[in-house]
Amino acid sequence: MAGIVPCYLKSHSQGEYVFDRGWADAFERAGGSYYPKLQASVPFTPATGPRLLVRQGFDAGSIREALAAGLLGLCEATGASSVHVTFAREDEWKFLAENGFLQRTDQQFHWHNEGYASFEDFLGSLNSRHRKAIRRERREALSEGITIHRLTGSDLTEEAWDAFFDFYMETGSRKWGRPYLTRSFFSMIGETMAKDVLLLMARRNGRWIAGAINFIGSDALFGRNWGAIEHHPFLHFEVCYYQAIEFAIEHGLTRVEAGAQGEHKIARGYLPQTTYSAHYIVDADLRRAVREYLGRERRYVAEAARELSEAGPFRKPADKSA
């Protein structure tokens, strides 16, 4: 085996974080059938990574060519309407464009570690207004006797998972309508990858009240689901963003990827990061319409990233207010 592209034949577009339901609706109103479709991604995971996997020692260029051709062949063989390679690396995105795929961009918000020695050191890189706001939010988040606990490894007990699952179901039911992870999923990752899981949990009056799950990578912390059964001002920011930054600094991680969406993250030190996906669409008319739309969308994403970066909380060279 010289190369592989893990992919799925799907009858829906749930759990992908690169939204194409509008394409599906338009195609089906025109009499087409958008599903099944082929999806190359890590399920329910909006994290960039390699999608065209080539074994070391083989010529990457020729194997990638074969993999791209294989995706198109599999699309034809399965009767799929399209192939979607999401959260790919930029070099794969460019390569797939040369092989007939349409290019799409979006943005997330990542925190980058510039060699900070502590959270206070990070705050020193911010302008005065944002620095004061973060300090106030952190104080108020814990003002009602709330304590924060970091659980990883052997600390990930079934009692902790029970509490976090309650948070997940309560918040997920309100936000998404149908949470998809099962209680057994959390026990499974606790058993198989406990050292790579970080639960950031909030406790008040002797019980867990909120928490966020993170996965620890070789150089990044990946923030995922958050939930709560009590709601306190700024507690979400403390558990999901500030605690993640502190953990990354203390463990020498280069960045925190806090998941999809959320322009409110900018004021907390998370800046726009472009994400890339590539899409092959069989039907010529749908492909033409999507190509035109993606051209406009890419320009919008680029301009929004520029504006949001300029509005970021970090000190400018000539900032006299710090």
Q: Is residue 268 part of a domain?
A: no
Q: Is residue 154 part of a domain?
A: yes
HSE (side-chain half, CA atoms, 13 Å) at 82: 28
Q: Is residue 319 part of a domain?
A: no
92 & 143 share domain: no
- Model pLDDT for residues 4-51, shown as the tens digit of each residue: 999 999 999 988 999 999 999 999 999 999 999 999 999 889 999 999
pLDDT at res. 318: 59
Please report, to the nearest 10 degrees, the dihedral formed by the alpha carbons of residues 296, 302, 304, 310 taken in order: -160
pLDDT at res. 259: 79
Q: Is residue 240 part of a domain?
A: yes
60 & 126 share domain: no
247 & 133 share domain: yes
206 & 227 share domain: yes
What single DSSP character describes residue 231? -
Number of domains forming the structure of the chain: 2
Q: What is the DSSP string of 93-126?
A: HHHHHTTTPEEEEEEEEEEE--S-SSHHHHHTTB
pLDDT at res. 177: 63
Report the CATH number that the domain containing residue 290 is assigned in CATH: 3.40.630
Report the CATH number that the domain containing residue 231 is assigned in CATH: 3.40.630.30
249 & 279 share domain: no
13 & 101 share domain: yes
- Model pLDDT for residues 47-70, shown as the tens digit of each residue: 999 999 999 999 999 999 999 999
- Between the CA of residue 245 and those of 67, 171, 221, 235, 248, what are the distances in Å? 38, 23, 9, 15, 5
pLDDT at res. 175: 64
Q: Is residue 290 part of a domain?
A: yes
Name the residue range of residue 181's domain. 114-253
Residues 127, 284: contact at Cβ < 8 Å? no
Of 48, 55, 54, 42, whose CA–CA distance to 15 is shortest? 42
- Distance CA(193)–CA(153), nearest Å, equals 8
Q: Is residue 228 part of a domain?
A: yes
162 & 223 share domain: yes
Q: Which residues of the chain have pLDDT under 50?
A: 320-322
Of 41, 43, 48, whose CA–CA distance to 89 is shortest? 48
16 & 144 share domain: no
289 & 189 share domain: no
pLDDT at res. 263: 84
Q: Is residue 28 part of a domain?
A: yes
Q: What is the DSSP string of 242-263?
A: IHHHHHHHHTT-SEEEEEE--G
98 & 142 share domain: no
pLDDT at res. 321: 47
207 & 154 share domain: yes
pLDDT at res. 261: 73
125 & 249 share domain: yes
Q: Is residue 263 part of a domain?
A: no
HEC profile of 30-89: CCCCCCCEEEECCCCCCCCCCCCEECCCCCHHHHHHHHHHHHHHHHHHHCCCEEEEEEEC
- The β-bridge relationship of strands 53-54 and 147-151 is unpaired
